[in-house]
Chain A
Amino acid sequence: MPYGKSACEQLSDLQIIQYSLIELDYFSCLYDRYEQRLLAYIKRTLSVHSEEAEDILQEAFIKIWRNLNEFDQQFNVSSWIYRIVHNEAISYARKKRSFGKNNIVGNETVILQIPADDADQSLAETEAVQILQQHLNQLPQQYRSVLLLRYMESMSYEAISDVLKLPEGTVATQLNRAKSALAKLIGKNPFKQ
């Protein structure tokens, strides 16, 4: 990229969008800035392999590029990007279901990732995370999305409301229901000590 990563770092999301409309290369700043977070989000949401997640993200960013002029400054850039990526992920999952493919990931259960360089990460923690992910996968899509956006992406209710296009009250209700549903599932967990 001709501008370098340091140039990107100095720009706000909004500036990147504005500059991208003039010079395409700036658009890669946006991709680089959100890539890791969004890949993790897609994997957590759909339980897909890295390659599939990258494909989904690529398609989502093409949509973001096409709709760059749609961005309304009353919205948060991050929420807008998450919304498009979320919709792309959901539509990918629907298409996949309609083709009858299994959407459960094989060996690569890297959904609720704990940073690899975390020295304190114990085997028990990893196992617990994997079990939690398995339970998350059993939840309805909407419940999984609110839980992930709230606790993995650390989003506010307002931001979640913008991503999922739901009233904040509904977000809160769904979050409570999702937590109850998850607690119920964990309660039935045979590995629970």
Chain B
Amino acid sequence: MENSEKMINRIRQENIHPLPKSVFQLKRLLIGIAFTGALLLGALAFSIILFAIQQTDFSVIQHLQHSRLEFFLGLLPILWLSALILMLAVGTYSAYYTGKGYKIKWTKRVLLNTLFSILFGTLFFISGGARKLEQAFAIRMHAYESIQEKKLKIWMNPEAGFLSGSVESIQDSTLNLRDFNNKIWLVNLRGAFIAPVLSFETGEKVKMIGQMTDNTHFNAQELRPWGGPEQRHQKK
């Protein structure tokens, strides 16, 4: 008996059937979903990283005396960086199994994946989507510390020389400031660097670096707008 006949007999005896087309279609669909999903989520993660960078004042670090590295790490959007790395890995891996994806070197797959995330992430960030997405995430996920919360944590720390809030009034060189906990501060602006963009209109949000002199008084050294889209919106 020829080997081919043996094989045919075995197929008949064991009643082996080809797997239905739908199984392979589903497999391809799942791989496609994993690939495109990873690309899109990677781009979204990148856009939120951009938003976090825009919102975070890394220049603050130079004013710190101790534990700069720890502070810097605290500023980084670790969750979104991890999400981006994970999505790049999933995208690169799943691309191998899509059609003739294996023909592309893994280094090239990583590069293309990264470029896609940068391009679409930047577009999404420019369109304002990143801010909305981050806010939606912060509302729905209670355990998540939003970028704004992180920012507040840094700038609502007068003992360490960081203060923020909204302008109540200004007289001579004394600023009447209501911080984000509704506490009123008298801020001495004499000799301080004041960002030219500031107009000191009532309600304008500002942040400053300086020294707390007592429970309600603060000597400012640098005064800057709170930053972010809210600031631009206020100016209109």
Chain A interface residues (CB < 8 Å from chain B): 1, 21, 24-25, 27-28, 31-32, 35, 54, 57-58, 61-62, 65-70, 72, 74, 161, 165-170
Specify which of A24, A161, A165 is in contact with B12 (CB 8 Å cutoff): A24
Majority secondary structure, A binding face:
helix
Tell me if B18 and A65 are in contact (CB < 8 A).
Answer: yes
A174 to chain B, nearest CB (A): 13
Q: How far is the CA of A32 from the CA of B3 in the complex (A)?
A: 8
Q: How far is the CA of A62 from the CA of B11 in the complex (A)?
A: 7
A146 to chain B, nearest CB (A): 15
Specify which of A1, A62, A168, A170 is in contact with B10 (CB 8 Å cutoff): A62
- How many of chain B's residues have a CB under 8 angstroms from any CB in A? 25
The interface centre, meaning the residue of B4, B6, B20 with most chain A CB atoms within 10 A of its CB, is B4
Tell me if A69 and B24 are in contact (CB < 8 A).
Answer: yes
Q: How far is the CA of A66 from the CA of B100 in the complex (A)?
A: 21
Tell me if A32 and B2 are in contact (CB < 8 A).
Answer: yes
Q: How far is the CA of A69 from the CA of B4 in the complex (A)?
A: 20
Tell me if A35 and B18 are in contact (CB < 8 A).
Answer: no
Q: How far is the CA of A106 from the CA of B105 in the complex (A)?
A: 39
Q: How far is the CA of A1 from the CA of B2 in the complex (A)?
A: 10
Tell me if A1 and B4 are in contact (CB < 8 A).
Answer: yes
Tell me if A65 and B11 are in contact (CB < 8 A).
Answer: yes
Tell me if B18 and A58 are in contact (CB < 8 A).
Answer: no
Specify which of A24, A65, A69, A161 is in contact with B21 (CB 8 Å cutoff): A69
Q: How far is the CA of A183 from the CA of B20 in the complex (A)?
A: 47
Specify which of B24, B99, B105 is in contact with A74 (CB 8 Å cutoff): B99
A68 to chain B, nearest CB (A): 4
Residue of A nearest to B22 (CB): A69
Residue of B nearest to A62 (CB): B16
B6 to chain A, nearest CB (A): 7
Instruction: Tell me which residues from 1 to 49 in chain B have a Cβ below 8 Å from any Cβ of chain A.
Output: 2-8, 10-12, 16-21, 23-24
Specify which of B5, B20, B103, B105 is in contact with A1 (CB 8 Å cutoff): B5
B14 to chain A, nearest CB (A): 8
Specify which of A32, A61, A68 is in contact with B18 (CB 8 Å cutoff): A68
Residue of A nearest to B97 (CB): A165
Residue of B nearest to A30 (CB): B4
The interface centre, meaning the residue of B2, B8, B99 with most chain A CB atoms within 10 A of its CB, is B8
Q: How far is the CA of A57 from the CA of B3 in the complex (A)?
A: 10
A-B contact pairs, 19 of them (CB 8 A): A21-B18, A24-B12, A25-B8, A28-B2, A28-B4, A28-B5, A32-B2, A62-B10, A62-B16, A66-B16, A66-B17, A67-B18, A67-B24, A69-B19, A69-B24, A70-B24, A74-B100, A165-B102, A168-B103
Which residues on A sit within 8 Å (CB–CB) of B23? Answer: 69
Q: How far is the CA of A116 from the CA of B102 in the complex (A)?
A: 39
The answer to whether A35 and B3 touch (CB under 8 A), given A58-B10, A69-B24, A74-B99, is yes
The interface centre, meaning the residue of B2, B11, B17, B18 with most chain A CB atoms within 10 A of its CB, is B18
Tell me if B8 and A27 are in contact (CB < 8 A).
Answer: yes
Q: How far is the CA of A43 from the CA of B3 in the complex (A)?
A: 16
Q: How far is the CA of A70 from the CA of B19 in the complex (A)?
A: 8
A53 to chain B, nearest CB (A): 11
Which residues on B sit within 8 Å (CB–CB) of A169? Answer: 105
Q: How far is the CA of A167 from the CA of B7 in the complex (A)?
A: 33
B92 to chain A, nearest CB (A): 13
Residue of B nearest to A25 (CB): B8
Q: How far is the CA of A108 from the CA of B22 in the complex (A)?
A: 44
Q: How far is the CA of A58 from the CA of B16 in the complex (A)?
A: 13
- Whether B53 sits at the interface, judged by CB under 8 Å, is no
Which residues on B sit within 8 Å (CB–CB) of A165? Answer: 96, 102
A69 to chain B, nearest CB (A): 4
Tell me if B8 and A24 are in contact (CB < 8 A).
Answer: yes
Tell me if B8 and A28 are in contact (CB < 8 A).
Answer: yes
